[in-house]
A and B are shown apart, each in its own frame.
Chain A
């Protein structure tokens, strides 16, 4: 079954994450895990909706987001292809950010914030800045 399909998508209706973002995250995750590499074709919109029963526009939006992030590019009349591998190099790019976060977490704990408090602060700030960026 599903020969020729490199990856499958799944949708969690109760995750609170927008369906198109779930697809984007699953592609990113597949890239990080090495399941997808440069040149791979993503499932066509028709394949995805026939499998997952979601709105085709959701898939299109996810693929556009991946294009915007420079992870994929469309070949007209053929489909959408992965243009970049998320190899260890990009993980290395994340290292300074991770170190910032570790330092920030240490400051938050020193200031007396509990784990729950830290999470609430992060989520609220994350959401607010994400909305401002929209």
Chain B
């Protein structure tokens, strides 16, 4: 499946049939082999890079008239800089192997370019005609046609959010992770919602339960009554939901127990989102043995009069720093459930618990700043207290 079907985007198709050396990389439109003149009046080749505005798998009209360039600052044929292009000259790494040095700004009189063909063609002709003055054979046209297909890409369509924000390099810090989400209840399903939007290598879902009506009220998105009637397994339901966007999800129709805990041995990070302490114990022991970092989440809510109170907990366990997590993760048996099991859970709290857990993982990966390096986070509803503990 092509992420960006060129035949659905007439402007990209036209660029390619020109033919320019067009490719799509990390959500950017990249046109290579653009002849330009440098300050020494030599003809060189540069690369034009444009952020892409997409409507799913096809282009939308460009919102931004600027374009990025990899190479020296282009000059007129007499070696003077093309000042009318100048916008910014800052070296930025947009993605692995995609470095740009300048941004140009040529706003059309009508305000916006109609499509990417018009935008790219405008910049190419401005820059390359100076090169052609020196070397009449210099042209951006090429015989080489580059496939935009990228089987390694995790998403079903391009992550233009990271491309627009120019944070692909930051997002790529997550790209090598193989993630397991154990338990697809309220919090686990929200963890999936967030992790599915990152470029991780693999996402493995573990849960043997069915997705019931009450689950629909503490899960992201909206289930249809037809879906609920079928009582799908949670992992099947969520895989089908999120595979629309993320191509790296594997559903395991099982809980983790001593008979299959070895399935976790290849993971690089685990989100533990299950209730029963007895099941948790074996998982915690094995993850420690496998030297896999993990996060355990949990909430406890109570009713006080006609309002609810309680707190959320996120516990981080890292190789070499296991002790405080061992103390904080409740591993008691099932008795505690029988005693208090009104099982109050609310979607916004499941969501917040998942957000705090995913934030913590991203901090560990250097995606976010992390000066506290806390291993325990709690959020108390009543007095709105967010606490970090066990700081390294």
Tell whether A pairs with B.
Answer: no
Q: Which residues of B approach A to under 8 Å, CB–CB?
A: none
